[in-house]
Amino acid sequence: MSRFSQKTGGFIGVMDLKRLRVRVLYWCMFSFLFLVSLVLLVPPLWIILSSLKDVREFYATPPSLLPKTLQLWKVVEVWNKLEFLRYYGNSFIVVAGCVASTIIFNGLLAYGISRLKPRGSKFIFGLILASIMLPSTVGMVPLFKDITNLKLMNSFVPLWLMSGATAFVVMVYKNFYDNIPSSLFDAAEIDGCSTFGVFWNIVVPLSKAINMVIIIITVNSSWSEFFWSFMILREKTLQTVMVRIYVMSTSFSSVGYGIDYQLVALTFAILPPVIMFIFFQKYIIQGIALTGIKG
């Protein structure tokens, strides 16, 4: 049980874990989490694996728990037919731009509201908060008109910039900046740092963990976004994976793809964000560790 000795943080301390009662509590919590994790993981994996069944078995009632038929060739066929490599490329470009734009624009805006607080910034925050209370339906048509009037069709730029105006992210950043101890800023100001100096030398290094969280969330949301991509990227060569999948699921053609094909395609579609999550989540922890300042 050497792992226990490496425990840092949390309300259960290393010393506590030497007591039997605490260990029992720990393993109870562990089992509980494990059960929850099964509830979260198994159903979607089951439905995804079901896509390899023959489609008639897929819809059989009662449903079969374990597949009786297995059609692995579907995987190859879908990969080839849908030219995933090409659309992965487009999706990556969209996601990369969205991540950059989300962090820079929302982060700066939140920093201004939280720390610099120029006169009127409270009102701006009120506007940002208010904008998530109005259904996006209200502005959708006018926005699309503006985008077409500016000749921004078939361009990634509006998709990128759009994520630079995400109210939720501004709020999370503001909340984070609000909680950085002011002593740090005061010290820097006494040292004669300019506003930008403070931002660059103190805020940016401190924000690593929160940035990782935002990256993870943005990768996921911009990867799975299809409405605006579908509306704006009309050229087939520019389309993203999710647009292809949306087109695939809505074409009521008499020779369309079956649900099994769609699910195989969806599996391909979620691999990149899954991999990115596994990669980035480590940095949530490391990000904190690296800053050397806690709490």
Partner 1 sequence: MDLTSVKAMASGSKHSYIRKKKFNFKKDMIGWAIMLPGLVLFTFFVWKPLLSGIILSFFETEGFHAGKFIGFGNYIEALTDMNFKKALLNCFKYTFWTLLLTYLLPPFMAIIINEMVHFRGYFRFSIYFPSMVPSVAVSILWLFLFDPGPNGFLNILLSYLNIEPSGWLQNPKLTIPLIVLTMAWRNFGPTSVIYIAALQGINNDLYGVAAIDGAGFLAKIRHITLPGIYNIMRLFLAVQVIVVFQVLQEPLVLTGGGPDNASTSLMLQIYHFAFRDFQAGKAIATSVIAFIILMSLTLVYFKLVKANTDME
Partner 2 sequence: MKRILVIVLCMLLVLGAASGCGTKKSDTVSDSEKATTTEAKSDSQVEGTEDAEKEPEPVTIVLGLAPADSDEAGLKAFNSAVEEFTKEYPWITVKSENFVYDPGTFIPKAESGQLPNIFNTWYTEPQKLINAGYVAEITEQMKAIGWDKLIHKNSLDLASKDGKIYGIPTNIYSLGLMINADLFAKAGLVDERGVPLFPKTFDEVREYAKIIKEKTGKYGYCVATRDHQGGWHFTNIAWNYGVEFEKQVNGKWVAAFNSPEGVEALKLIYDMKWVDKSVQDSALVGVGDWIKLFGTGQVAMVPGDSAWAPTVVATDYKMNKDHIALCSFPAGPKNNYALMGGNLFMFSKDSTPAQIDACLKFLKFVGQGPEFDPNSVPLLEQAYQELRNADPPRPITKGFSVSIDPELLRVHEELFNKYVNVNIEFFNDYYLNNFKNLRPEEPYHAQDLYGILDSVLQRVLTDKNVNLQELLDKAAHDFQVNFLDKIN
Catalog residues that contact partner 2 under the rule CB under 8 A.
55-56, 58-61, 104-105, 108, 140-141, 144-145, 147-153, 157, 194, 196-197, 199-200, 227, 230-231, 234, 247-248, 250-260
Smallest gap, in angstroms, from Cβ of residue 268 to partner 1? 11
Q: Which is nearer to partner 1, 84 or 111 (CB)?
A: 111
Structure tokens at 184: 């740090």
Distance linking the first and last C-alpha atoms of the chain: 29
Q: From partner 2, partner 1, none, which one binds at residue 197 (CB under 5 to 8 Å depending on kind)? A: partner 2
Look at residue 44 and give the partner it binds from partner 2, partner 1, none, a contact being a CB closer than 5 to 8 Å depending on partner kind: partner 1
Contacts of 238 (CB under 8 A, 6+ apart): 90, 154, 156
Minimum CB separation of residue 209 from partner 1 in Å reads 5
Taking the complex as a whole, the smallest distance from the CB of residue 11 to partner 2 amounts, in Å, to 39
Q: Which is nearer to partner 2, 159 or 288 (CB)?
A: 159
Return the exposure string of 117-135: e unless at least 16 CB atoms fall within 10 Å of the residue's CB, then b: eeeeeeeebeebeeeeeee
CA distance 260 to 266: 10
Which of partner 1, partner 2, none lies near 253, with the C-beta cut-off 5 to 8 A by kind? Answer: partner 2
Nearer to partner 1 (CB atom), residue 146 or residue 191: 146
Let me know: does 71 contact 53? Beta carbons within 8 Å: yes
Phi first, then psi, for residue 259 (nearest 5°) are -65, -35
Q: Which does 36 bind (CB under 5 to 8 A by kind): partner 2, partner 1, none?
A: partner 1
**89 interacts with, out of partner 1, partner 2, none, CB within 5 to 8 A per kind:** none
CA dihedral 126, 112, 140, 218 (to 10 degrees): -120
